């Protein structure tokens, strides 16, 4: 028997279960249309304002900056584990062990410095900065 038949059967079943549940609930439930049922659910409170709230862009900035350090960590850990063995081994010079990681960190640092200098971690602007901004 072709393996694909099993996959097809699984897909069919996977599709039938949710559809079947929706069908059953549609058949069983009483229908009482009411306007308040269509309102946005806000834990019993009367909803205020729209759902599309604007968050401060700085939240994203911090998240992005965090990513820099996150990636740094992800690479630093395995590197650190192998570091001592590599230094002791004669086959690889210290420069070859240390150099790439220093270069990597340096590149990330340039990115961090750039973000910092361009106001990624600045939550509020001084009046002078606002003025300078509007000049551009």
Partner 1 sequence: MAIYELPEWTALGPALILAVTALALFAFDSISPRSTNRQLLAGTAVAGSLTSLGVAVWFTVAGVGTPTADGGNGVIDPTHGFVVDQLALYFMIIVAVVTALIVVASYDYLVDHAYQAEYYSLVILAATGMSLMAAADSLVTILIALELASLPSYALVAILKDNRGSVEAGLKYFLIGSLSSAIFIYGISLVYGATGHLELAAIAEVVSGETEAGSGHDITEMGGLLGLGILMLIGGFAFKTASVPFHFWAPEAYEGAPAPISAFLSSASKAAGFVVLFRVFTEAFPLGEIGAVIGFDWTVAFIVLAIVTMTLGNFAAATQDSVKRMLAYSSIGHAGYALIGLAGLTADGGELVMGAAMMHLLVYGFMNTGAFLFVALAEHWGVGRTFEDYNGLAAQAPVACAAMAVFMFSLAGIPPFGGFFSKYFLFVGALEAATASTAMLVVAAVLVINSALSLYYYSRLVKAIWIEDPPATRDRLAQPTGLYAAIIVAAVMTIVILPGFGPVVDAALDAAGAVVG
Which residues contribute to the site for partner 1 (CB under 8 A)? 107, 110-111, 113-114, 116-118, 136
DSSP for 83-111? Answer: HHHHHHSSSS-HHHHHHHHHHHHHHHHHH
Residue 20 Cβ vs partner 1, minimum distance, rounded to whole Å: 30
Task: Provide the minimum distance between the beta carbon of 111 and partner 1 in the complex, in angstroms, as a whole number.
Answer: 7
CB closer to partner 1, 9 vs 24: 9
Closer of 3 and 45 to partner 1 (Cβ) = 3
Nearer to partner 1, 22 or 113 (CB): 113
State the minimum distance, in angstroms, from the CB of residue 31 to partner 1: 39
Helix (H) or strand (E) holding 131: helix 127-135
Residue given tokens 């992005």 in the structure block: 64
Shortest Å distance, C-beta 25 to partner 1 = 33
Residue 88 or 135 having the CB closest to partner 1: 135
Q: How far is residue 99's CA from residue 132's CA, in Å, rounded to a whole number?
A: 40
* Rounded CA Rg of the chain: 29
- Which candidate, 104, 72, 97, places its Cα nearest to that of 82? 97
Contact between residue 121 and residue 65 where contact means Cβ atoms under 8 Å apart: yes
């Amino acid at each position: 028997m072709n393996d694909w038949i099993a996959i097809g059967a699984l897909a069919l079943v996977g599709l039938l279960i949710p559809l079947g549940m929706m069908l059953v609930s549609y058949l069983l439930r009483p229908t009482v249309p009411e306007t308040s049922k269509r309102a946005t659910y806000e834990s019993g409170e009367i909803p205020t304002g729209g759902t599309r709230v604007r968050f401060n862009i700085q939240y994203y900035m911090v998240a992005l900056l965090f990513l820099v350090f996150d990636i740094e960590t992800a690479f630093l850990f395995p590197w650190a584990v192998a570091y001592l063995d590599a230094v002791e081994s004669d086959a690889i010079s210290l420069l070859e062990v240390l150099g790439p990681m220093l270069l990597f960190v340096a590149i990330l640092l340039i990115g961090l410095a750039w973000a910092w200098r361009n106001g990624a971690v600045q939550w509020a602007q001084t009046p002078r900065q606002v003025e300078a901004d509007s000049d551009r």
